Structure 1
């Protein structure tokens, strides 16, 4: 019985001999495949301690109760502490949160970090900080590994996958929507939303314009304009406005751009293609002035094969002269030949970015937007929740529009947060602080990373900023 393709292809005599020798061997029953192990991304804080990437989540009720229960004589403090550490790692907490819980708030469930068992009871540890550091690294490593079956079995995730598959299918049936520069930008904004829906396994997600821009490889102002276009076109819908430090909530309109669902099936290959396109869009090379988003689209279309200039212009919705200018720029930077053959690979894009002088452009935008987010938390807290925050006593009040022009951005970047609710941003003060940061970034780019690191280290987690009645939405 043939076990594979029966089409005849050229083969070596040695390969044919191996096949003939195994004709009489019965095939072994295939062993049950183990679930594929997926690794969650692990980040490192400014002190070098690992933590899982993503927004912080509230701890489960059982874990909070376990952490608040005193350790009895017969209880296994190590096992209880490990359960708490593992849950904290899954909740995207960081080491500083655990150190505060163990040594400042003195959670009873973390007694193993403060003392160890001896014949006469429990004795204080001399290396309490080192023990917590070691166990936290182990917990983060264990939490970073999960089975793919566990990631795809929930009804919420299956719904999210169907939503993304339907969105991508409908996007393919309407290529005229993604023509031109604005069309290419709209496409990237939708792809970034699809990736976030998959990551959150939820149809409604919190997505700030700055985070959206970083995911799509665009500027924040560009994303704000394209969101208006896509909302008006019926592709996406804002279900809730931004409130305090919380970003607005968005969802994909199920029938946006079409009358009925597409019936498309979600596959891992579809998800891989989505993430690869977004990763390419975040490459530094597309910050080069001669290329931009249209240069990326020309390069992406040429990856599928040699395409005439006229056909490229028709598919992209631009004139032939624009296509020729992008081809010349791609050729000058070593990304394609005169015949239209494309050079691919991450290393090739990195070398092209170096030749164009835009190396680190995306990372610089990431640092800028994260710093602005940290400053906003401090501004909002000191302005509307002064009585509930230590920011006034520690760093002073947020500068006025006139003072923001004279305050050093390092001082502005020292963010501190607490529960925040209240009116929206005051444009004059906020704009003055952002202008001061931009000038500092241009004048002293070398200190930019340290500036952002200090701001992010002081920025609280999302669920700390949320009121208790918002925890359910945060967990989702």
Structure 2
């Protein structure tokens, strides 16, 4: 990790393990915000770098589970590259991102079977949950991925990368740090705010990636992406208008370029807003299940109260619900459903204490019954389908 990665983890993603950077413990056993959290992070980073410089490199080899995960990913990526026509068009580009997202999660978990919700999947690859839901069906049918276990209540489904020939075939590809770096870099680019601009989207991302890698004509880009030349010209024109490409077809790269383009397009923070919305939705789902399964012994219910009733929802102002969903409050009022009221309530709790709020959501989910306890009997036989 570099300093900017730790900074983002501490102050943007607000990792619970870095709470000591943001706050300090008082004599009463409580935590209070630090006067200069940035300086504390710099001090701790300097200590870590100094300690690392005096620490001899470990010769420990990766664990067998990690090596197995690396082999799966090393086999997948060449197989994807060998079928460029499969990733043509808008849906093909979306399918490609979903596979890359599953490959990254497989490496991170060092396991061939990984638990991954549709919302987390969408957040990891810069797509919407609706797109993930529709495209997963196609990838399952074609054997690119397999669902090991269905989702149950607030527990996500378990997935694995599809293995042609029952997993006995191997392409001979070797996993490397460069391969993982390219994978992570592509997913990082996909999560950039600029692709939320209506004139770009996932096809704009693919055009920008191709122009960043080599000099290609409009016809060559169109042939590789499986779209018409007019679509490519429109995307290039949009990239030029946001300062991401020149008139000669050369693309500009870098985080700062992407950030400036997002500011110019008026979509700065769009990805973070979507992540926030999906976290709120997950929290509401956990809240509902907690009210149903653990109404007597839950720290979450002690802080949040019971899940709203229809009568309580009617008393929630539509503007509060609209703000919780991140939609404009100037349009038609949002219907005051129990789900909307719960979203508004969770947004208030999140704003009050974002760090401990998500920790409480995670702890509450972990205290709920295991997935196999929540599955209906008719789903048991289908979990390995």
2:175 is the counterpart of 1:277? no
Indicate the SS of the match to 1:239: strand
Q: Evaluate the alpha carbon distance shift between residue 149 and residue 403 of structure 1 in structure 2; reply closer, same or farther with a 3 A threshold.
A: farther
1:434-454 per-position Cα deviation (integer Å, ceiling 9, x unaligned):
58748999xx9xx98558556
1:388-411 per-position Cα deviation (integer Å, ceiling 9, x unaligned):
33555554321235643543669x
Q: 1:466 Cα deviation (Å)? A: 5.5
Structure with higher helix content: 2
Indicate the SS of the match to 2:243: coil
- Structure 1, 331-340 or 254-263: larger mean CA deviation: 254-263
- Counterpart of 1:172? 81
2:159 is the counterpart of 1:250? yes
1:222-264 per-position Cα deviation (integer Å, ceiling 9, x unaligned):
1111111111110111111112322111111122899933121
Q: In 2, Cα distance between the equivalents of 1:149 and 1:245?
A: 39
User: Any residues of structure 2 matched to 1:296-315 within 5 Å, and which?
Assistant: 296-315=205-224
Q: 1:266 Cα deviation (Å)? A: 0.2
Q: TM-score scaled to structure 2, two decimals? A: 0.74
Indicate the SS of the match to 1:293: helix
Q: Evaluate the alpha carbon distance shift between residue 402 and residue 208 of structure 1 in structure 2; reply closer, same or farther with a 3 A threshold.
A: farther
Query: Gaps (5+ residues) in structure 2?
Result: 35-42, 325-334, 373-385
Question: Which one of the candidate residues 136, 142, 148 is aligned to 1:239?
Answer: 148
Give aligned pairs, total.
337
- Counterpart of 2:366? 464
- Structure 1, 399-408 or 152-161: larger mean CA deviation: 399-408
Q: In 2, Cα distance between the equivalents of 1:468 and 1:326?
A: 47
- Counterpart of 2:17? 51
- Counterpart of 1:210? 119
Which 4+ runs in 1 deviate beyond 6 A? 37-40, 125-130, 144-148, 256-259, 438-441
- Counterpart of 1:332? 241
- Counterpart of 2:339? 433
Higher relative contact order (CA 8 A, sep 6+): 2
- Counterpart of 1:78? none
Q: In 1, Cα distance between the equivalents of 2:172 and 2:340?
A: 46
Indicate the SS of the match to 2:114: strand
What is the CA RMSD across the aligned residues, in angstroms?
A: 4.2
Q: In 1, Cα distance between the equivalents of 2:87 and 2:366?
A: 39
Q: In 1, Cα distance between the equivalents of 2:76 and 2:355?
A: 37
2:271 is the counterpart of 1:370? no
Indicate the SS of the match to 1:237: strand
Question: Which one of the candidate residues 220, 230, 239 is aligned to 2:129?
Answer: 220
**8 Å Cα contact 1:382-1:391 kept in structure 2:** no
1:441-470 per-position Cα deviation (integer Å, ceiling 9, x unaligned):
9xx9xx985585564253233783265899
1:376-425 per-position Cα deviation (integer Å, ceiling 9, x unaligned):
11111002332333555554321235643543669xx9xxxxxxxxxxxx
User: Any residues of structure 2 matched to 1:184-199 within 5 Å, and which?
Assistant: 184-199=93-108
Question: Which one of the candidate residues 194, 202, 209 is aligned to 1:293?
Answer: 202
Query: Gaps (5+ residues) in structure 1?
Result: 1-36, 53-93, 100-112, 114-124, 414-428, 471-476
**8 Å Cα contact 2:316-2:341 kept in structure 1:** no
**8 Å Cα contact 1:180-1:318 kept in structure 2:** yes
Q: 1:179 Cα deviation (Å)? A: 0.6
Q: Evaluate the alpha carbon distance shift between residue 454 and residue 259 of structure 1 in structure 2; reply closer, same or farther with a 3 A threshold.
A: closer
Q: Evaluate the alpha carbon distance shift between residue 234 and residue 469 of structure 1 in structure 2; reply closer, same or farther with a 3 A threshold.
A: closer
